[in-house]
Amino acid sequence: MSTRTRSYGVAEFQAAGAPGLAGRLDLRVAEVGEGRVVIEQTVDPTLFNPMGQLHGGAIVALADTAMGYGCVAHLPEDARAFTTIELKSNFLGTATEGTLVATATPVHLGRTTHVWDCEVVHRESGRRLALLRATQLLVR
């Protein structure tokens, strides 16, 4: 049985994120479904570190947003929010152009915690750029 009890969709998450960091980073919600959230981001120089490469924080913000939206979309009815208690990232590559695609999927949807994995891929090359995992504490 699914823990998903809320009917948030692409438009709701896009609107909710627009005034904050997700809007500032131009994160685009592509899919919100049972057990899956996909968010995209265009790579541009505003996301680069001083060495001219994609900043790791940009990838983390993209993936954390995807995993967070996944958690919200799958909160049990008696939970009102969540907070991330651990976030781990492994960087495997970089990009200086194109589109990043973050796909978040649940590993564990418990009553007190959720664990989500996220894979960030460079759309044009198909290269995997990062793997991330977040543990979230549900707030009642």
pLDDT tens track for 66-88: 999 999 999 999 999 999 999 99
Q: At 28, which CATH number?
A: 3.10.129.10
Query: Alpha-carbon distance 90 to 81, whole Å?
Result: 27
C-alpha dist (Å) from residue 38 to 30, 50, 80: 5, 28, 23
| Residue 32 included in any domain | yes
What is the tens place of the pLDDT at every residue in 115-137? 999 999 999 999 999 999 999 99
Q: How many CB atoms lie within 10 A of CB 125?
A: 11
Give the alpha-carbon dihedral of 76, 82, 85, 86, to 10 degrees: 70
Residue 39 belongs to domain spanning: 10-139
Q: What is the pTM of this model?
A: 0.93
- Give the count of domains, the chain: 1
Backbone angles phi, psi at 37, to 5 degrees: -135, 135
| Residue 5 included in any domain | no
| Residue 1 included in any domain | no
